[in-house]
A and B are shown apart, each in its own frame.
Chain A
Amino acid sequence: MLRKVFACGSRERVRRGLILLMIVAVAYVPGGVALAMLLSGAE
């Protein structure tokens, strides 16, 4: 499936890569911060 997503020109490939990166980052960066707070015992 990923191979199909990236079957395009280089500029479009970069754009698509950034979109996928943002989808994951938006969900997992705040979740990672929350995990860090939990593990460090921050109030």
Chain B
Amino acid sequence: MDKDLAVLLLIIAVRGGVPFLVFRWQFAGGLLCILADASDSILQDALGAEPLEGHYHLVDKSFDTYYLLFEAIVAYRWLDPLARWAGVALFALRAGGAAFYELTEIRQTFLVTPNVFENFYLFVAGLRSIDPEFRIPSWRWLLGIVVFVGAPKVLQEYVMHYRESATWHFVKENILLWR
């Protein structure tokens, strides 16, 4: 089999299959989705194939929205109304931003529609795996949680999408020392 095709099938299998795990393990499944998200760049680099060349951003963003949708479905089932509706609203903000980007190709869109949902989801899912009865106590707590998990994400979006820096290459060359 052609190497590019094999890597493409592997990427589709990983990124398409892993999100189903959030229905079984809300928190661990969410963490695995992040690893799966990183896997496409890593697989391409490690195996020396570029099946997504020229289409990477479209494919990556589509799979991102796909796995966030699974997490949004889980969030929608939470019994805590503050966590549920904040989760759904943050997902809608991100999905709307991704759709707007596809229509306009303005990368800065992601700076005003940051993926705070993912960090928020993992925060609530993580605390729910410690205490299944966990509830966000008040609007003030909700605001604090969103700021706590959202601030680093806004910085990340600024670097990735406003400055258009290649994060993976920076990590690879300066942190992992993989040249």
Say yes or no: A28 contacts B130, CB within 8 Å. no
Say yes or no: A19 contacts B152, CB within 8 Å. no
By size class, the interface of chain A is 20 to 34
Which residues from chain B contact A5 at a C-beta distance below 8 Å? 130-131
Nearest-neighbor residue (CB-CB) of A26 within chain B? B122
Count of interface residues, chain B, beta-carbon cutoff 8 Å: 29
> Could you jot down 30 A-B contacts, CB within 8 Å?
A5-B131, A19-B130, A22-B27, A22-B31, A22-B122, A23-B122, A23-B127, A26-B31, A26-B34, A27-B122, A27-B149, A30-B152, A30-B153, A30-B156, A31-B155, A31-B156, A33-B167, A33-B170, A33-B171, A34-B156, A34-B158, A34-B159, A34-B167, A36-B170, A37-B159, A37-B165, A37-B167, A38-B158, A38-B159, A40-B174
